Amino acid sequence: MTTTSLPPERGASPRAGAAGAPTSSTHEHAKGTGGAYRPEIQGLRAIAVLLVAVYHIWFGTVSGGVDVFLLLTGFLITGSLLRSVERRGRIGFPAFWARLARRLLPTMAVVLVGVMVATFLWLPAARWRGVLREVVASVLYHENWVLALNSVDYLADNDSASPLQHIWSLSVQGQFYVIAPVLVTLAAFIAARAGRDPRRVLLFVLGGVFALSLAYSVYMTEANQPWAYFDSGARLWELALGGLFALVLPYLNLPLRLRVLLGWTGLAALALCGALVPVSTMFPGYVALWPTGAAIMVILAGTTGSKWGADRWLVSRPLSVLADLSYSLYLWHWPVLVFYLQVTERNMPSLKGGCYVLVTSLILAWITNKLVGDRVEGLSRTKPGTRRDWGIAAAFLVPVLVASSLWYTDLTVEQRRLEALAADPANYPGAAVVANPELAENLPEAPVYPDPAGRADVPSIYPDGCDARLSGKHAIVCEYGDETSEHTIALVGASRTAHWFPPMLDIVEKHGWHLVNITKSGCQFATETPMRDGEVFTECIQWREEAMVELERIRPDVVVTSSTRATGGGERVHDGFIERWEQLREMGTDVIGIRDLPRRSERIPECLTEKSREECVESAYRTQAEVDPTQKLDYVPDNVTFVDLTEYVCPGGECPAVLGNVMVYSDATHMTQTFSRTLTPMLEAAVLEATGW
């Protein structure tokens, strides 16, 4: 079944989150620091959530609407907290957080329950654990950090959009709800001690936060944009900007004609942001000033009273109704879209399909508001109180946490049962069934191992931090085996070189050799200029330079690396490979080049949870040449030996998802650690023949 690859609200790569969310202030009065009701904010909220949904559904991209919601959060929360300080002289922290919990969590809990039910019905079991982890991350408001870690993890499940990745912006806002009252209280304390106006002190405090966060955001967006997109520190300036604007707005008195112009200019800029600005790759640095600036212009315009003013449209009944639904609509639209694409096996909805998604989301949002939001608000008005607010929030929150925990525990118990069964190697011979047909004839029936629904079974170098990963610039050297041995082997290359680490480790430990691992995800050990997503892969260039420096220092006897690269465009030997091998020859180092294995068209874990083993077989020649390209080279340095173990992974040119009861790949391109280890005897024989040791 096809899985959606829509970009979440970082953009084009599905490894990001979906969109910014309407703030908790969706249920608050749209007031400035002076306490005056500002109806245009309701209209602005409606426009922002509509843009988010439309850009996601029909364009598969992002709109900048998230930045508007972050700005509005800062604007409204700062005003609310400042009024509390001016009226009462303090902020009631428990009461403030209790009100937010009561407003936010019931609606979110209902959506999370809906997502869990839909996950069980329509998503492959291989994705259940990931969704359950994100349910907890959503409830506890750290979903943005989960996505940030995944965004820089080359081996993470980045091919499938999560139905909950849109919660990331709510997590950023939730973290701001903790920070904001502390900042306002700090400003009030300083003002009282210094005999200053709290507003002026708060202006200085928020100004400092804005400047530091914006500077960090610009730097991090340039250095590691996928991470920066979800980084709370890189987003905090947008919330601080909203707070600053709330403080200075009462002192701004603009001419009517200018306000009319600002209103329409702001709306036009906001609507065109997603179409004209590459939000996917440039946010949240200084470019995010576009949508936040557009929102500021709309609020500056305010209520003009002019028949030509944008506010006349913003305060219309349809937009007011949509604004009331914005929080629920935001929460529902993304999971509805993800499950629609999953069920229909599409990558993008048609015009009609998109309408179904939007209408369904609106209906669910309306029902959720009526059955949950309105009733909870009514109950809190009838019997107000901090304890009551916490009780309401807990009544919705606890069942979600309990249900997700029990489900996750059940999956874990099954995983442990499978691991106990796998302790007997006779049940899981893996690639050995190809080398020894008798094993295949007597293979016992057993469930697939590793569990397709479990955690990715990857080499230990990843959890140990011994791979530079996609965003890393520096060569990480990790050493294994006997460091005093007379024989040293270095495993050097990208992730499809790194998946040979498990058998290499077994080999060096058996023979008492020394193994050095220097790998970086997505970076070929070559010399030509590396490209990624249409741009020069600068991190790869620096890693290569440092890797060569380390190899010069270590002087290994042999470097094990990839000899070819198989992709959808075919299999070839990079010119840069040969040049790199020549450099190693000058160092006196031999090379064992392992042929790249075929790539799959879909992730094996998901295929196995949706289809039978027999249905998850693909031709090796979809990405691999029928004849090893190294056999056609006119020139090969005399220090190079080629090894081709494809026959043990794709016997007869057919690549099964399971061999000897062992799942071959952990995704669509990398061997599981378990299967890779079953290739140890074959690789050992090739290494011994090549080295003569």
Q: Are residues 337 and 465 in the same domain?
A: no
pLDDT at 6 exceeding the cut of 50: no
By CB neighbour count within 10 A (0-12 exposed, 13-18 middle, 19+ buried), where does 146 fall? buried
Q: Are residues 401 and 462 in the same domain?
A: no
* Region of 385 on the Ramachandran plot (φ > 0 left; ψ -120 to 50 alpha; else beta): left
**Could you tell me how far CA 488 lies from the centroid of its own chain?**
38
Q: Are residues 332 and 220 in the same domain?
A: yes
Query: Which domain-ending residue is among 406, 424, 446?
Result: 406
Pick from 24-38, 470-484, 651-665: least confident: 24-38
Rounded mean pLDDT of 480-495? 95
Per-range mean pLDDT, top range of 280-284, 349-353, 531-535: 349-353
Query: pLDDT tier at 568 (50, 70, 90 boundaries)?
Result: confident
Write out 513-545 in H/E/C secondary structure. Answer: CEEEEEECCCCCCCCCCCEECCEECHHHHHHHH
pLDDT at 13 exceeding the cut of 50: no
Per-residue pLDDT tens digits for 289-313? 999 999 999 999 888 888 888 888 8
Q: Are residues 369 and 518 in the same domain?
A: no
Q: Between β-strands 531-532 and 514-519, what pairing exists: parallel, antiparallel or unpaired? A: unpaired
Supply 121's token pair.
Answer: 């019905």
Looking at the chain, the whole-number percentage of residues with pLDDT higher than 90 is 68
Per-residue pLDDT tens digits for 74-93? 999 999 999 888 888 888 89
Per-residue pLDDT tens digits for 383-414? 777 888 899 899 999 999 999 999 999 998 98
pLDDT at 16: 33
pLDDT at 28 exceeding the cut of 50: no
Angle separating helix axes 289-301 and 65-88, nearest 10 degrees = 50
User: Which run of H or E residues covers position 640?
Assistant: strand 640-643
Q: Are residues 75 and 209 in the same domain?
A: yes
224 vs 203 pLDDT, higher one: 203
Q: For residue 316, is it within any domain? A: yes
Neighbouring C-beta atoms of residue 250, cutoff 10 Å: 13
pLDDT at 607 exceeding the cut of 60: yes
Query: pLDDT tier at 36 (50, 70, 90 boundaries)?
Result: low
Rounded mean pLDDT of 421-446? 89
Mean confidence (pLDDT) of the chain: 89
* Sign of the torsion angle spanned by Cα atoms 206, 211, 214, 217: negative
pLDDT at 40 exceeding the cut of 90: no
Q: Are residues 274 and 359 in the same domain?
A: yes
What whole-number distance in Å separates Cα of residue 231 and Cα of residue 374?
Answer: 33
Number of domains in the chain: 2
Q: For residue 305, is it within any domain? A: yes
CA distances from 411 to 139, 162, 406, 572 (A): 20, 19, 9, 41
Q: Which range marks the domain in which residue 86 is found?
A: 24-406
**73 backbone dihedrals φ, ψ, rounded to 5°:** -60, -50
pLDDT at 306: 83
What whole-number distance in Å separates Cα of residue 65 and Cα of residue 159?
Answer: 24
What whole-number distance in Å separates Cα of residue 658 and Cα of residue 651?
Answer: 12
Q: Are residues 498 and 586 in the same domain?
A: yes
- The SS3 assignment for 31 reads strand
What whole-number distance in Å separates Cα of residue 315 and Cα of residue 308?
Answer: 13
What whole-number distance in Å separates Cα of residue 240 and Cα of residue 233?
Answer: 11
Looking at beta carbons, which pairs linking 313-318 to residues 24 or more positions away fall under 8 Å?
313/43, 314/39, 314/40, 314/42, 314/43, 314/44, 314/46, 314/47, 314/263, 315/39, 315/40, 315/42, 315/43, 316/43
Q: Are residues 159 and 83 in the same domain?
A: yes
Q: Are residues 507 and 393 in the same domain?
A: no
Q: Is the preceding omega at residue 598 within 30 degrees of 0, hence cis?
A: no
Rounded mean pLDDT of 363-373? 92
Rounded mean pLDDT of 242-258? 92
Query: Which domain-ending residue is among 362, 382, 406?
Result: 406
**pTM value surpassing 0.75:** yes
Q: Are 150 and 15 in contact (CB under 8 A)?
A: yes
pLDDT at 371 exceeding the cut of 70: yes
What does the DSSP assignment read for 136-198? Answer: HHHHTT-HHHHHHHHHT-TTS--SS--TTGGGHHHHHHHHHHHHHHHHHHHHHHHHHHHT--H
Q: For residue 5, is it within any domain? A: no
pLDDT at 1: 36
Based on its alpha-carbon atoms, the radius of gyration of the chain, rounded to whole angstroms, reads: 29
Query: pLDDT tier at 11 (50, 70, 90 boundaries)?
Result: very low
Query: pLDDT tier at 3 (50, 70, 90 boundaries)?
Result: very low
Q: Are residues 545 and 647 in the same domain?
A: yes
Q: For residue 183, is it within any domain? A: yes
Rounded mean pLDDT of 164-188? 94
Write the CB contacts of 433 (distance below 8 Å, at least 6 apart in sequence).
439, 440, 443, 659, 660
Query: Which domain-ending residue is among 374, 406, 438?
Result: 406
What whole-number distance in Å separates Cα of residue 57 and Cα of residue 43?
Answer: 21
Per-residue pLDDT tens digits for 124-157? 888 899 999 999 999 999 999 999 888 755 455 4
What whole-number distance in Å separates Cα of residue 432 and Cα of residue 253?
Answer: 80
Q: For residue 17, is it within any domain? A: no
Q: For residue 417, is it within any domain? A: no
What whole-number distance in Å separates Cα of residue 111 and Cα of residue 368?
Answer: 9
Q: Are 646 and 686 in contact (CB under 8 A)?
A: no
C-alpha closest to that of 461 among 502, 414, 496: 502
CATH of the domain at 479: 3.40.50.1110
By CB neighbour count within 10 A (0-12 exposed, 13-18 middle, 19+ buried), where does 271 fall? middle
Place of tokens 């050297």: 477
What whole-number distance in Å separates Cα of residue 507 and Cα of residue 514?
Answer: 10
Q: Are residues 391 and 482 in the same domain?
A: no
Measured at the alpha carbon of residue 367, what is the angle toward residues 19 and 52, in degrees to the nearest 5?
Answer: 20
Q: For residue 383, is it within any domain? A: yes
pLDDT at 8: 39
Rounded mean pLDDT of 519-531? 94
pLDDT at 533 exceeding the cut of 90: no
pLDDT at 280 exceeding the cut of 80: no
At residue 518, what is the residue type? Answer: I
Rounded mean pLDDT of 31-46? 74
Q: For residue 551, is it within any domain? A: yes
What whole-number distance in Å separates Cα of residue 482 and Cα of residue 513?
Answer: 6
Q: Are residues 208 and 337 in the same domain?
A: yes
What whole-number distance in Å separates Cα of residue 57 and Cα of residue 63?
Answer: 11
pLDDT at 620 exceeding the cut of 90: yes
Instruction: Tell me the sheet residues that pair with 518.
Output: 492
**134 backbone dihedrals φ, ψ, rounded to 5°:** -75, -25
Looking at beta carbons, which pairs linking 379-387 to residues 24 or more positions away fall under 8 Å?
380/102, 386/92, 386/94, 386/95, 386/98, 387/98
Angle separating helix axes 128-139 and 143-151, nearest 10 degrees = 130
